[in-house]
Amino acid sequence: MRAQQHLGVVMRRRRDDLGVTQQIIADRSGFDRSYIADLERGKENPKLTTILAVARALNLEPSAFMRLVHEAITRDLDPTPEPERPPRGLKKGDKRPPRGAKAGDKTTSGPPT
């Protein structure tokens, strides 16, 4: 994930915590609501002056805002965790072969006859 995506995640979470809309952040920071939306989606790479204005609009000191972004980058916060996928070679719904057996081996359930 790129740095601007982490910045967007932090913005959105902080805005949600405050219970305010993108329009309110836009009004407070002096930017258009669509630009705030693009920032939150990580579509824009903001200038330092933009980061300062957005931080203040989110009721944060710029240093505190950047610390949150740094922590997000360090922990690699992902806004949408990937769904769990079956191991390669297996299709969704297939069962994993018993330990030691190879995929495709025929196994029997029960004692040999």
Under 8 Å between Cβ of 21 and 63: no
- Strand blocks (E) in 1-113: none
DSSP summary character for residue 111: -
Note the pLDDT of residue 76. Answer: 76
Calpha distance 82→64 (Å, rounded): 29
Tens digits of residue pLDDT in 50-82: 999 999 999 999 999 999 999 999 887 555 555
Under 8 Å between Cβ of 39 and 10: no
Calpha distance 41→1 (Å, rounded): 12
- Phi and psi torsions of 3, nearest 5°: -60, -40
What pTM does this model have? 0.65
Tens digits of residue pLDDT in 24-46: 999 999 999 999 999 999 999 99
**Domains of the chain from N-terminus onward:** 3-75 (1.10.260.40)
